[in-house]
């Protein structure tokens, strides 16, 4: 015997308390699931799938992690039936706002007193990138961050840093000390030989200008490596 096809029920026909928008208004935003919040951004699903069901499916395929969903491109989102360019852009923009809100939150941690505080500051910027980026953090004599500068952007396996540009930036921002930071998209936290050589080059060059290199921190999505903590600087 053939099974009857599952009948799709539009959100409009749900009870009012189950509709995401009404639920947010009457019960508060914390009472909505991630899928229901994404469904509000979508506004509607497709002919055969509600916005909530579609959102649940997308999240399930991303292991129910918004961080993984935030890495999806507009084109990847548009592969789902019911998501056009406008909806894909709305989702991308909302998730980017969430990421920038996290960046703003860590500005309160702008005084560096450990490698962990460096990780807290830089993880939202480069922790989950799929390419390598190198940053220079300038500090004053109170170890407060005065400037964060992206020095270079590379591929999956590396990036090139010009020591002269790094020192120029340090002088322009009156840095008393510096911290080097870059990410490893592979997730491996241990430094390469080129990482070690670059650290020593910048340390020696900065000393001629009476600027101290305090640390070099390698950032991944879930962990970090500190040259200072490991006695490598």
pLDDT digits (tens, 9 = 90+) for 11-54: 666 655 558 999 998 888 888 999 999 999 999 888 889 999 99
Q: What is the pLDDT of residue 48?
A: 87
For domain 11-103, give its CATH number from 1.10.150, 3.40.50, 1.20.140, 1.10.20: 1.10.150
Q: What is the pLDDT of residue 154?
A: 77
Q: Tell me: pLDDT of 3 over 60.
A: no
At residue 8 the predicted structure's pLDDT band, cuts being 50, 70 and 90, is low
Tokens representing residue 12 in the block: 């409009």
pLDDT digits (tens, 9 = 90+) for 93-133: 999 998 887 766 555 547 788 999 999 989 988 998 888 99
Radius of gyration of the chain (CA): 23
pLDDT digits (tens, 9 = 90+) for 140-195: 998 989 899 999 987 655 567 999 999 999 999 999 999 999 999 999 999 999 99
Alpha-carbon gap, residue 191 to 91, rounded angstroms? 35
Homologous superfamily (CATH) of 111-226 is: Cytidine Deaminase, domain 2 (3.40.140.10)
pTM summary value: 0.59
Region 192-205: what's the mean pLDDT? 95
pLDDT digits (tens, 9 = 90+) for 59-95: 999 999 898 899 899 999 999 999 999 999 999 999 9
- Of 186, 179, 191, 184, the closest CA to residue 215 belongs to 179
- Of 58, 56, 49, the closest CA to residue 10 belongs to 49
**Beta carbons of 112 and 126 less than 8 angstroms apart:** no
Q: Are strands 177-183 and 212-219 parallel, antiparallel or unpaired?
A: parallel
Domains in the chain: boundaries: 11-103, 111-226
Alpha-carbon gap, residue 217 to 184, rounded angstroms? 11
Q: What is the pLDDT of residue 26?
A: 86
Region 193-210: what's the mean pLDDT? 95
Q: What is the pLDDT of residue 107?
A: 52
């Amino acid at each position: 015997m053939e099974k009857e096809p599952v009948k799709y029920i539009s959100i409009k026909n749900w009870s009012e308390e189950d509709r995401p928008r009404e639920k947010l208004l009457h019960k508060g935003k914390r009472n909505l699931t991630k899928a229901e919040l994404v469904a509000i951004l979508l506004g509607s699903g497709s002919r055969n799938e509600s916005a909530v069901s579609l959102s649940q499916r997308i999240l399930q395929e991303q292991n129910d992690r918004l961080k993984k969903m935030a890495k999806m491109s507009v084109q990847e989102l548009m592969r789902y039936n019911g998501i056009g360019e406008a909806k894909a852009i709305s989702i991308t923009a909302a998730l980017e706002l969430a990421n920038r809100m996290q960046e703003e939150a860590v500005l309160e941690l702008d005084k560096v007193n450990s490698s962990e505080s460096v990780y807290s500051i830089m993880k939202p910027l480069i922790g989950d990138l799929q390419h390598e980026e190198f940053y220079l953090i300038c500090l004053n004599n109170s170890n407060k961050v005065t400037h964060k500068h992206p020095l270079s952007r590379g591929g999956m396996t590396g990036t090139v840093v010009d020591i002269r540009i790094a020192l120029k930036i340090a002088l322009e921002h009156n840095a008393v000390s510096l911290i080097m930071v870059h990410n490893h998209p592979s997730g491996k936290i241990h430094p390469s030989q080129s990482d070690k050589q670059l650290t020593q080059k910048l340390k020696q060059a900065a000393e001629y200008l009476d600027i101290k290199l305090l640390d070099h921190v390698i950032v991944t999505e879930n962990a970090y490596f500190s040259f200072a903590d490991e006695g490598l600087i």
